Structure 1
Amino acid sequence: MSDELSDDKSNSIQVIARAARILNVLSVEPGGMRLAEISRIVNLPRSTVQRIISALSQEELVQADRGEGVRLGPALMRMIGRVHTDVVAITRPHLELLSKQLRETVVLCRVSGRRLAYVHAVVAEHVLRVTPGVGGDLPLHCTSGGRALLALHTGLVDEAFLGASLEKMTEATVTDIAELRHIVAETREAGFGWESEESIVGVSSMAVAIDTVHGQYAVAVVAPTSRALPLKHEMAERLLKLKADLRVELGGSDHDN
């Protein structure tokens, strides 16, 4: 390979890497960001960022608006939607079985910015039951699914990602970043996340996260605290087994071992 071809290949890889960094930054702020802010975060000249965004905009991977700034574009959102549809189709039988075994609500979730978004839910048949709405969301820091997903990344629990202050949802919500960092480390070691009445009063949850070729997802069991506490051991056993099964079906990486 000639030096000229080698340089072209290196430049192409560099552009792709820079575009990926910009898309990752925009994924944290779905409402849009100013060009200057993106440039500062990715540590690139404004002119370079503008050229990359212009190219991404032509493919509808980003959408640039003078009033709202730059945000993820419709083409990317359509791709994400198709992936979620595939993942739901694969996981639905497993979620339904787990809900039947535990007789509690089971939810498939993912990260959306700084929040945990619900992708699919299998609602328990109890009279007293938790019914999370698909498309709804809660802060990452006070949900078991959020903690399980944060545990996939060492060093992600910081103010740069979660914000300067953690929202207090209930009196039990952990809002100290150092304490949360310790909880996420424990989650990583145990293989599952847990929270009790930190996001919704009277409700507790346990979750596992799976890093797959389709993206990172969490499966959470959500139940009234009075029923969740006696079920903790069984929840953990069944969720860890489910995690192992889904890693095979969804093409899991070694990241979530």
Structure 2
Amino acid sequence: MYSFSVQRNNDPYRIEAVDRALTLVTLLAERGSLSVTEAGRELGVAPSTAHRLLSTLCHRQFAVQGDKRLYRPGPALLALAKAGGPPLADRIRPYLQRLYDLVGETVHLMVRTGAEIRFVDGIESRHPLRVGLRTGARMPAYCTSGGKAMLADLEPSEIDALHAGGLPPWPGEKIHNLSALHETLEAVRRNRLGVNHEESEPGVTAIGASIGWIDGQHAALTTVLPTVRLATVDLETVTTHLLQVCADVRQAFGDNRDTKTAR
């Protein structure tokens, strides 16, 4: 844990607001999450002051407000943190390639932002009848396989907070309320797999598994294929490969989920 008090007290050229903002940036980078109460305590200021500082960091994308009203590193801070190393998609690419080599179907890497997911990388199948890449697309997490797998990582209270205004409508939705979502996620936790059977789009079936939090991003791997070819695919083998590759990713990069939800 860093100590900030000595420098704050002794530096005659210190600008209070800048010092406080940089202190919060450092704490976010160190801890992975920060509440308004914690920020105020570390800075020795009222919660209202801490809230204004954190809101300013959010405006400049150095922080984002996530689950349980905790603030987490934002895109600008993550970009700085990763300046000396490859982005998440590049780091996970070898594992995505290995999954593709094993299953021969279209595979994706997706990340979760709040109640949505975004496809950030993928490799398209060579089958004549296949599902194309969705890189860059966004969808509600609850109607995608990887999204369900990531939501299953969260506590029920976190899921409720993410969907406080109800589930966002989606054309192929099969989960219509929070009660049904919680029931679905219990099955996902037992099986370690999220399944999307024509929920994100007609004619598409996908299986996904979470790889946890890496570089401050909640991510999952998925394999997807046309529903009409389901009968020709050994799904047990596909899911075995998917779970093994995801386990290898977690072992290689760690899952800092605990440090992001413990405070």
TM-score using structure 1 length: 0.70
Report what 1:252 is aligned to: 255
CA deviation profile, 1:82-105 (whole Å, cap 9, x unmatched) = 599433223212212222322211
Partners of 1:135 and 1:82 in 2: how far apart?
Answer: 22
Partners of 1:117 and 1:74 in 2: how far apart?
Answer: 14
Report what 1:20 is aligned to: 34
Say if 1:100 and 1:57 are closer, same or farther in 2 by CA, change over 3 A.
closer
Secondary structure at 1:76's aligned position in 2? Answer: helix
Query: Equivalences for 1:24-103 in 2 at 5 Å?
Result: 46-54=48-56, 56=57, 61=62, 75-76=76-77, 78-79=79-80, 85-103=86-104
Say if 1:157 and 1:213 are closer, same or farther in 2 by CA, change over 3 A.
closer
Unaligned runs of 5+ in 1: 23-43, 64-71
CA contact (8 A) 1:192 1:207 kept: yes
Aligned-pair distance for 1:164? 2.4
Report what 2:221 is aligned to: 219
Partners of 1:195 and 1:220 in 2: how far apart?
Answer: 10
TM-score using structure 2 length: 0.68
CA contact (8 A) 1:109 1:118 kept: yes
Report what 2:165 is aligned to: 164
Partners of 1:203 and 1:253 in 2: how far apart?
Answer: 32
Unaligned runs of 5+ in 2: 9-19, 37-45, 65-72, 259-263
CA contact (8 A) 2:151 2:159 kept: no
Secondary structure at 1:108's aligned position in 2? Answer: strand
Indicate which of 221, 233, 237 corresponds to 2:236. Answer: 233
CA RMSD of aligned residues (A): 3.6
Secondary structure at 1:20's aligned position in 2? Answer: coil
Say if 1:245 and 1:60 are closer, same or farther in 2 by CA, change over 3 A.
closer
Report what 2:154 is aligned to: 153
* Correspondence 1:194 to 2:195: yes
CA contact (8 A) 1:87 1:250 kept: no
CA contact (8 A) 2:213 2:257 kept: no
CA contact (8 A) 2:146 2:220 kept: yes
Partners of 1:88 and 1:154 in 2: how far apart?
Answer: 26
- Which AA in structure 2 matches 1:114? A
Partners of 2:214 and 2:107 in 1: how far apart?
Answer: 22
Report what 1:31 is aligned to: none
Kindly tell me the number of residue pairs found equivalent between the two proteins: 217
CA contact (8 A) 1:193 1:207 kept: yes
Partners of 1:189 and 1:128 in 2: how far apart?
Answer: 32
Partners of 1:83 and 1:147 in 2: how far apart?
Answer: 32
Partners of 1:16 and 1:245 in 2: how far apart?
Answer: 29
Percent identity over the alignment is 24
Aligned-pair distance for 1:158? 4.0
Report what 1:34 is aligned to: none
Runs of 4+ in 1 over 3 A off after TM superposition: 15-19, 44-48, 51-54, 56-60, 79-86, 156-159, 228-231, 252-255
Say if 1:73 and 1:247 are closer, same or farther in 2 by CA, change over 3 A.
closer
CA contact (8 A) 2:116 2:147 kept: yes
Partners of 2:84 and 2:147 in 1: how far apart?
Answer: 20
Could you tell which deviates more after superposition, 236-245 or 78-87? 78-87
Secondary structure at 2:112's aligned position in 1? Answer: strand
Partners of 1:160 and 1:254 in 2: how far apart?
Answer: 18
- Which AA in structure 1 matches 2:51? V
